[in-house]
Amino acid sequence: MSSTIIYIKRIFKSGSLNFFRNKTVSISSVAILTTTLIIIGIFFFFRGIFDYTLGEIESKVDIKVYFKLDAEDTQINIIKEKLMSLPEVKSVNLVTEEQVLADFKEKHKNDAVILAALEEVASNPFGSMLTVVAQDTKSYESIAISLKAGSEFLGESYSVIDDVNYFQLKSTIDKLNNIISWVNTIGYWITLVFIVMSSLIIFNTIRLSIFIFKDEITVMKLVGASNMYIRGPFLVESTIYALLSSFLAMLLFFPITFYISKKTALFLDGLSIYRYYLDNFFSLFFLLLLISFALSFISSLFAIRRYLTA
Amino acid sequence: MLYFENIRKEYPGGSVVLDDINLTIEKGELVSIVGHSGAGKTTLIKMILAEERPTAGRISFHSSQIQKLKGKDLVNFRRKIGIVFQDYRLLLNRTVFENIAFAMEAAGKTDEEIEKDVPHVLELVDLGNKIFHFPTQLSGGEKQRVAIARALVNRPEIIIADEPTGNLDPVNTYDIIQILKKINDLGTTVILTTHNKGIIDHLKKRVITMEDGKILKDEKLGKYTV
């Protein structure tokens, strides 16, 4: 076996032995790391809830293009195709005049006056309609501009359009855009604060666990161990902390998300935190692993450097 | 082999702990350094280990200047020196075997060499039956013998024993001194600092007496006269 392999093998063995023999330090370090990771994970779930809720609100917003009663199916289809070719458009759905009438009747089924008035008219007073959903709420304005009278985009086809409801919805969409932008800004700041706080907690935990061994580090130096040979086992130990705490945090999220899902099923209509956890299991696990590994590894490097250069 | 030339050590604030130290220690010598607390013995030892650097002067091991050693050179130099402390300074979460093996592993020795040499050196210090004990399971005298075994295992050119019997009873003190004497008889240079008059008078070897950071006396066959 080459000397480098022996060297690495010894560092790994030594780090693992330290982990198991310094039980108190290891247990407390893993406990603090796990708690920190759970807090980070909870934040991940909060982001999930926010994104889902905003997504739900966004999905309820659309532009409705109302057609004149004499609009031909082919003319409507041309406009539909044109709209679908726009990159800002996510989907375009055609609601036929019969469907519009059926929806109207369903909506006003308890309103006898309206239904009687509809009977008086005899023929269907509604034209067909297109519902246009944008990739994001900010795109509605440019879609609406494309649907304006005299736009180059529609050209002659505009003549069959009766009305576009964007301009009635504009203030609602603007408000929604403001909320989304506000939530995102706040979200980024909270993420930053969380990362700084977690880094400090993890750094202090690792620093304390190394501080306990500062006298031993001095002895190791004096018996002729190189800095890497002293540092290596501490890095291995912090890697074990990171791995174990990530596993533990993920394990604890099973009952936590299950319980929260039951409690929040009513007001988080359609979103199950438990389902969200299962669907995002690997991405959350790798996120926690990456954060705990990076933070504990870097913390170890910094904490031990102090004693190696002293 | 070890040369101190006009060594002076002054800490910020003007406190002088070593002054005008001129000293040569030859290969195979057993040198005792005596003096009251604060006389400068430990600072002198720390300079040999390059834990402290002199403010002025030159300290050399063979032809290399110790205070200029850095990085890999410093690590290699320290492997040529075995160190025994008053408070043993064993690695508490490692067994007796692992404590001694650590010094060998750090020096890049193979597993076969470690398997062969560690039991052998433990036999020399009469601890062959405590090989898998942890330091907390040993008496003071036993811990010091493990420290000596660790210092000895890489066959260093010099063994430095800084007050090695300071925490030991008379019986263990006698045992430790006998071991150090035996190591010296086999050709290793031993530098010993102590407060123990009995040890110095018993050894009948070179004694350097220090006071207030200076060498007061340097006698080939000295006695404890502090």
Residue A76: helix, strand or coil by DSSP?
helix
Interface probe for B, chosen from A219, A223, A237 (most Cβ of B below 10 Å), is: A223
Residues A237-252: what's their mean pLDDT?
A: 94
A21 chain-B contacts, CB cut-off 8 A? 93-94
- Which residues on A lie below 8 Å from B75 (Cβ)? 224-227
Q: Do B106 and A224 touch (CB under 8 A)?
A: yes
Average pLDDT in chain B: 92
Q: Are A236 and A12 in contact (CB under 8 A)?
A: yes
Average pLDDT, stretch A166-182?
79
Q: Does A224 contact B at CB distance below 8 Å?
A: yes
Mean pLDDT over all residues of chain A?
Answer: 86
Res A118: pLDDT? 81
Residues 6+ apart with CB under 8 A from B66: B47, B48, B50, B59, B60, B77
A209 touches chain B (CB under 8 A): no
Residue A310: is its pLDDT beyond 60? no
Q: Inter-axis angle of helices A227-264 and A23-60, to 10 degrees?
A: 50
Residues A38/A252, Cβ–Cβ less than 8 Å: yes
Q: How confident is the model at residue A54, as a pLDDT? A: 76
Q: Would the pLDDT of A123 be above 70?
A: yes
Interchain pair B93, A226: CB under 8 A: no
> Between chains, do B91 and A21 touch, taking CB under 8 Å as contact?
no
The predicted-structure confidence for B80-129, as pLDDT tens digits, reads as follows 999 999 899 999 989 999 999 999 998 889 999 999 999 999 998 989 89
pLDDT of residue A210: 86
Looking at the predicted structure, is the pLDDT value of residue B133 above 80? Answer: yes
How many residues comprise chain B? 226
Q: Note the pLDDT of residue B115.
A: 95
- Full-model pTM: 0.75
Taking the Cβ of residue A17 and every Cβ of chain B, the question of whether any pair is shorter than 8 Å is answered with yes
pLDDT at B122: 94
Of A22, A219, A221, Cβ closest to residue B93: A22
Band (A266; pLDDT cuts 50, 70, 90): confident
* Phi, psi angle pair for A102, to nearest 5°: -60, -40
pLDDT reported for residue A1: 62
Model ipTM value:
0.82
Inter-chain CB proximity A223 and B78 less than 8 Å: yes
The set of residues, in sequence order, having a beta carbon less than 8 Å from that of B192 and lying 6+ positions away, is B30, B31, B32, B33, B161, B164, B180, B199
CA-based nearest distance B47→chain A, Å? 12
**Closest partner CB to A223 (pick from B76, B102, B110):** B102
Mutate to test the interface with A, among B69, B74, B79, B89 (most CBs of A within 10 A): B89
Cβ distance B108 to A10 less than 8 Å, yes or no, reads: no
In total, the C-beta contacts within 8 angstroms joining chain A to chain B are 51
Pairwise CB contact (< 8 Å): A225 & B75: yes
For the stretch A52-93, pLDDT in tens is 877 777 777 888 889 988 888 888 888 888 889 888 898 999
Model confidence at B203: pLDDT above 70: yes
Please report how many Cα atoms fall inside a 13 Å half-sphere around the Cα of residue A292, on the Cβ side: 34
> Which residue's entry shows tokens 């009663």?
A69
Looking at residue A16, its pLDDT comes to 94
pLDDT confidence of residue B226? 66
* Cβ contact, residue pair B110, A226, below 8 Å: no
Model confidence pLDDT, tens digit, residues B15-33: 999 999 999 999 999 999 9
pLDDT in tens, B134-161: 999 999 999 999 999 999 999 999 999 9
Q: Which tops the pLDDT comparison, A154 or A308?
A: A308
Average pLDDT over residues B156-185: 91
Diameter of chain A measured on Cα atoms:
103
Residue B119 CB partners (closer than 8 Å, separation 6+): B97, B128, B131
Rounded-to-integer distance, Cα A29 and Cα A295, Å: 13
